[in-house]
Amino acid sequence: MLPGNPPEDLCRQTRRHFFSRCGLGLGGIALASLLGKSPLRAAAAADAPLANPLAPKPPQFAPKAKNVIFLFMAGGPSQLELFDYKPKLIDLNGQAVPDSLIAGKRFAFMDSSHGTKLLGTRREFKRHGRSGAWVSDLFPHTAKIVDDISIVKSCQATLFNHAPAKLFMNTGSGQFGRPSMGSWVNYGLGSECQDLPGFVVLQSGPRGPRGGAVNWGSGFLPTTYQGVPLRGGGDPILNLSSPAGITVERQRQTVDAIRDLNLKRAVATGDAEIHTRIAAYEMACRMQASAPDLIDLSKESAATLNLYGIEKNTPSFGRNCLLARRLVERGVRFVQLYHTNWDSHGGPGENLQGDFEKVCREVDQGQAALVQDLKDRGLLKDTLVVWGGEFGRTPMGENRDTTGRNHHIDAFTMWFAGGGTKAGVTIGETDELGFNAVADPFHVHDIHATLLHALGIEHTKLTFRFQGRDFRLTDVHGHVLHKLFA
Amino acid sequence: MPRRILPVPLAALVSLLVGPAVSAATAAPVDYTRDVKPIVTQHCVRCHGAAKQEAGLRMDTAEAILVGGDSGPLVKAGARDQSLLLKIIAGPHEDIPQMPYKRPPLGADEIAKLRAWVLAGAPAPEKEEPGVFVHWAFVPPQRPTPPEISNSQSAIRNPIDRFIVARLAQDGVAPAPEADPITLLRRASLDLTGLPPTPSETAAFLADRSPGGYERAVDRLLASPHYGERWARPWLDLARYGDSNGYSIDAPRQIWKYRDWVVAALNRDLPFDQFVIEQLAGDLLPAPTVDQRVATGFNRNTQINQEGGIDPEQFRIESVLDRVNTYGTAFLGLTVSCAQCHDHKFDPITQKEYYRLYAFFNNTVDDGHGKSNPGGTLDFRGELPPPDARQREIEETRAELERFLNTHGAAVTAWAAGLHQHEKNKLGATAREALGEPWEQLSLRHKRALYAAFPGATADFKNRNAQLTRLERNEAKPVSTLVMSELPAPRESFLFIKGDFTRRGETVAPGTPAVLPPLRAEKPNRLDLARWTMDPAHPLTARVAINRIWQQYFGRGLVETENDFGTQGEAPTHPELLDWLATEFVARGWSQKAMHRLIVTSATYRQSSRARPELELKDPINKYLSRQARLRLDAEIVRDVALAASGLLVPKLGGPPVYPPQPDGVMNLGQVKRDWRPSTGDDRYRRGLYTHLWRATPHPALAVFDGPDGFSACTRRLRSNTPLQALTLLNDAQFFEFAGALAKRVRAEVPAGLEAQLDHGFRLCLARAPEPAERARLADLYRQQHAAAAGDEAARQDAAWLIVARVLLNLDETITRE
Q: What is the pLDDT of residues B237-285, one digit of tens each?
A: 999 999 998 887 888 899 999 999 999 999 999 999 999 999 999 999 9
Inside any domain, residue A61: no
Average pLDDT over residues A365-390: 97
- pLDDT exceeds 90 at position A48: no
> pLDDT tens digits, residue range B555-603?
999 998 898 998 878 889 999 999 999 999 999 999 999 999 999 999 9
> Averaged over A148-155, what is the pLDDT?
97
Q: Write out chain B residues lying below 8 Å of A168, CB-based.
A: none
User: Residues A262, A383: one domain?
Assistant: no
Domain locations along chain B: 8-134, 229-380+486-532, 389-475, 733-817
Rounded Cα gap, residues B78 and B445, in angstroms: 98
The amino acid present at A80, given as its one-letter code, is: L
- Nearest by CB: A110 against B311, B621, B776: B311
Do A185 and A139 lie in a common domain? yes
Residue of A nearest to B666 (CA): A238
Q: Which residue has the higher pLDDT, B706 or B778?
A: B778
C-alpha span between A286 and A276 (Å, rounded): 15
Measure the CA–CA gap between A442 and A156, rounded to whole angstroms.
6
- Write the pLDDT tens digit of every residue in B734-791: 999 999 999 999 999 999 999 999 999 999 999 999 999 999 999 999 999 999 999 9
Domain housing A260: 6-51+244-285
* pLDDT at residue B671 tops 70: no
Give me the pLDDT at residue A161, please: 84
Cβ contacts of A347-353, under 8 Å, gap ≥ 24: A347/A400, A347/A401, A347/A402, A347/A404, A348/A401, A350/A400, A350/A404, A351/A401, A351/A402, A351/A404, A352/A78, A352/A81, A352/A122, A352/A402, A352/A403, A352/A404, A352/A405, A353/A402
Do A72 and A119 lie in one domain? The reply is yes
Cis peptide before B325 (omega within 30 of 0): no
Percentage of chain B beyond pLDDT 70 is: 94
**Euclidean distance between CA atoms A95 and A87, whole angstroms:** 14
Mean pLDDT of B596-622: 93
Please check whether residue B152 touches A, CB under 8 A: no
Sort out which chain B residues have CB atoms less than 8 A from A269's CB and list them. Answer: 609-611, 630, 818
Tell me how close the Cα of A317 comes to any Cα of chain B, in angstroms: 16
Q: Is A264's CB within 8 Å of B697's CB?
A: no
Query: How far A375 CA sits from the closest chain B CA (Å)?
Result: 31
Task: Tell me whether B771 touches chain A (CB under 8 Å).
Answer: yes
- Choose among B669, B725, B811: nearest Cβ to A229: B669
Q: Which residue has the higher pLDDT, B590 or B675?
A: B590
| Alpha helices, DSSP H, located in B194-311 | 199-207, 213-223, 225-238, 256-267, 272-281, 290-295
| Residue B202 pLDDT greater than 50, yes or no | yes
**What is the C-alpha separation between B732 and B739, in angstroms, rounded?**
11
Domain count, chain A: 2
Residue B460 in this model has a pLDDT that exceeds 70:
yes
Place B371 in a pLDDT band, splitting at 50, 70 and 90: low
Residue A62 resides in a domain: no
- Chain A residues lying within 8 Å of B561, measured CB to CB: 467-468
pLDDT digits (tens, 9 = 90+) for A267-277: 999 998 898 89
Go through chain A and tell me how many residues it has.
486
Q: What tens digit of pLDDT does each residue of A64-79 get? A: 999 999 999 999 999 9
Contact map slice: B 51-70 vs A, CB within 8 A: none
Residues of A within 8 A of B708 (CB-CB) are: none
Q: Given this model, what pLDDT does residue A468 score?
A: 63
Together in a domain, A270 and A138: no
pLDDT for res A109: 62
3-state class (DSSP) for residue A73: strand
Whether residues B104 and A470 touch (CB distance < 8 A) is answered with: yes
- Looking at beta carbons, which residues of chain A come within 8 Å of B720? 222-224
Q: What is the pLDDT of residues A391-429, one digit of tens each?
A: 999 999 988 778 899 999 999 999 999 999 999 999 999
Q: Are residues A212 and A353 in the same domain?
A: yes
- Tell me A371's DSSP state: H
**Mean pLDDT, rounded, for B721-744:** 95
Q: What's the rounded Cα separation, in Å, for the pair A471 and A184? A: 11
Q: What is the DSSP string of A324-354?
A: HHHHHHTT-SEEEEEE-----SSSTT--TTH
Least confident of A18-22, A157-161, B172-176, B285-289: A18-22
- Comparing alpha-carbon positions, the chain B residue that sits nearest to A16 is B616
Residue A47 is predicted with a pLDDT of 39
Reported as a single tens digit per residue, the pLDDT across B512-539 is 999 999 999 999 999 999 999 999 999 9
What pTM did the predictor assign?
0.77
Same domain, A331 and A443: yes
Is residue A8 predicted with pLDDT exceeding 60? no
Is B727 touching A (CB cutoff 8 A)? yes
- In a shared domain, residues A168 and A219: yes
Reply yes or no on whether the pLDDT at B10 is more than 70.
Answer: no
How many CB pairs below 8 Å do chains A and B form together?
Answer: 235
Nearest CA in chain A to B245: A211
Q: What is the pLDDT of residue B103?
A: 67
Residue A417 lies in a domain: yes
Same domain, A20 and A127: no
Nearest beta carbon to residue B807 from set A258, A266, A283? A258
Contact B164, B604 (CB under 8 A): yes
The dihedral built from the CA positions of residue B21, B27, B32 and B35, taken in this order, carries a sign that is positive
**Is A116 found in the same domain as A200?**
yes
- The amino acid occupying position B536 is P
Q: Which of B569, B671, B776 shows the shortest C-beta gap to A207? A: B671
CATH number at residue A449: 3.40.720.10
Cβ–Cβ gap A30/B818 under 8 Å:
no
Residue B670's pLDDT band (cuts 50, 70, 90): low
Interface test with B, best of A238, A248, A350, A407 (most B CBs within 10 A): A238
The end-to-end CA distance of chain A, in Å, is: 28
ipTM metric: 0.82
pLDDT of residue A38: 35
H or E element that contains A469? strand A469-471
Give chain B's length. Answer: 818
Beta carbons within 8 Å of A36's beta carbon, 6+ residues apart? none
CA distance B772 to chain A (A): 9
Q: How far apart are CA B546 and CA B554, in angstroms?
A: 12
Residue B210 has pLDDT above 60, yes or no: yes
- Residue A259 sits in the same domain as residue A221: no
Please compute the mean of the pLDDT values over residues A440-462 and round it to a whole number: 96
For residues A87 and A132, state if they share a domain: yes
Q: At residue A13, does pLDDT exceed 70? A: no
Separation of first and last alpha carbons in chain B: 29
Euclidean distance between CA atoms B587 and B581, whole angstroms: 9
